Structure 1
Amino acid sequence: MTILTSAPVAPLLDQLFAEAEAASPLASPAFASLSREERRGLMSSKTAYRDLYDQLKEFALPVSRETGKLLYLLARAGNARSIVEFGTSFGLSTLHLAAALRENGGGRLITCEFEPSKLARARENLAAGGLSDLVEFREGDALTTLASDLPETVDLLLLDGAKSLYLDVLTLVESRLRPGAVIIADNTDYCPDYLERVGSAANGYWSMSFTDDVELSIRVA
């Protein structure tokens, strides 16, 4: 048995994933009325993302169950002790990462979210899972909240916030990524500039598309 597969975390995750699956963002009239091209434009924009995510603040927008397990496995396999997460939402991915930290013997997980109501929900969920002592919640724009007071080294970086900011957030954290650090980015089809950076070994990364939605990269230099 692991923390991830036992109470209180396992039933909490089942509940949260079920709630997320029952409440699709397409239920939002403002979002459902957009064409595919309009949605892509908003998701890729470096200026309109605040309005978009404000319209979606009632929705969890979590990683998939499979990606959650991947996060846990990578953090455990790499014996991660220092993790940075961009995009907390309701904290489902945070629960997976914090569970891995606990089983690794402890550590620090910095997670950031600019929507206060979502961060409040995430705090409640991490407390319910008994993992909040491992998590530092930072409220506000990640370009500000991650600009200072980062760990000396970062073992794992999760990018799952505003897609257009992936490269900017990577740039903020990049100097702290240790050789062998893992970067997981969700929905990278909206951020070609990010894929160009991690797709080149000349930039110090090895990268592959793990699924259609997830890019998995390793910092090699």
Structure 2
Amino acid sequence: MASTASRPVVASQKVLSLLDHLHNQSRAQESSFAMFLFYMGRYIRFLFSKQPQSSSFDDFVRDKFIALEPEKCDFLYLLARASGAMNVVEAGTSFGVSTIYLALAVGQNVASKSTEPVMPGKGGKVIATEKEESKAAKAREHWQQAGQEVEPWIKLLEGDLLVTLPKQLGETDAVDLLLLDIWTPLALPTLKLVKPKLRHGALVIADNTSSVKLLYKDLLDYIHDGTNGFRTMTTPFSGGLEVAVYLPELAQ
């Protein structure tokens, strides 16, 4: 385990230890032969049928973390801190691992901009979305274990995000960061849903845009089209991590 001082994430040892534990569980799942077959099957299915998932797909992933790797989470935390993000949307929460990083960043950003003592959960929020009831329950359990550094800064929307998110966005200030860690068919619809609330300079981050580039075609075509106001690059993390900045004045 890395020492607290050497890690980019600022958090109590309790939270850092919890994150190590969750990442170890996720890593064990990801390294299994069953997961390899699952990912290969998903990709082959898409190549032949253009259908990226099925009911059996949903059944298989119901008890899987499918979490961002630790180095991606560290990077996500640093981006959120550097951008001063206080209103974040996470599409695809799963067991809530990356949500912890985002919540830490949001709480610390709020504190850094306030001259008064900060009441946990006031002044910023991570709006997390998860359609699977069992995963939402596990995420809440993990956030409760993390405690006041994390839990008050998260609002979880359960169910179809295309249904639950619009109302919440109507009650939310401009969005500073959008994380798309969700099944690829929902990536572009989610971006289009959140886009009217993106502030100038907002970050949009999507995982595995190199390893499953074909599945992300619609999203990548959209953000690479200059008329939509994004400037983007694929960072060289395993599988690719897309980082786009919303700069609407540069739309051509």
- TM above 0.5, yes or no, is yes
Contact 1:184 1:217 in 2 (8 A): yes
What one-letter code is carried by the residue in structure 1 that aligns with 2:108? E
| TM-score normalised by the chain length of structure 1 | 0.90
Any gaps of 5 or more consecutive residues in structure 1?
none
Shift of 1:29: 10
Q: Secondary structure, in 3 states, of the residue corresponding to 1:146? A: helix
1:116 corresponds to which residue?
A: 133
Q: How does 1:123-202 map to 2 (within 5 A)?
A: 123-130=140-147, 131-150=150-169, 151-188=172-209, 189=213, 190-202=215-227
Quote the Cα distance in structure 2 between the aligned partners of 1:207 and 1:28. 30
Shift of 1:184: 0.4
1:214 corresponds to which residue?
A: 241
Whether 2:229 is the aligned partner of 1:204: answer yes
| TM-score normalised by the chain length of structure 2 | 0.79
Q: Identity of aligned pairs, percent?
A: 36
Q: How does 1:69-84 map to 2 (within 5 A)?
A: 69-84=74-89
Contact 2:176 2:199 in 1 (8 A): yes
Shift of 1:11: 0.2
Q: Secondary structure, in 3 states, of the residue corresponding to 1:83? A: strand
2:18 corresponds to which residue?
A: 12
Whether 2:70 is the aligned partner of 1:65: answer yes
2:27 corresponds to which residue?
A: 21
1:30-78 CA-partner distances (Å, limit 9, x unpaired): 8378374126678x637x4554233211110000111101110011001
Contact 1:28 1:56 in 2 (8 A): no
| Compared CA separation, residues 34 and 137, structure 1 to 2 (3 A) | same
| Compared CA separation, residues 29 and 196, structure 1 to 2 (3 A) | closer
Contact 2:45 2:51 in 1 (8 A): no
Any gaps of 5 or more consecutive residues in structure 2?
111-122
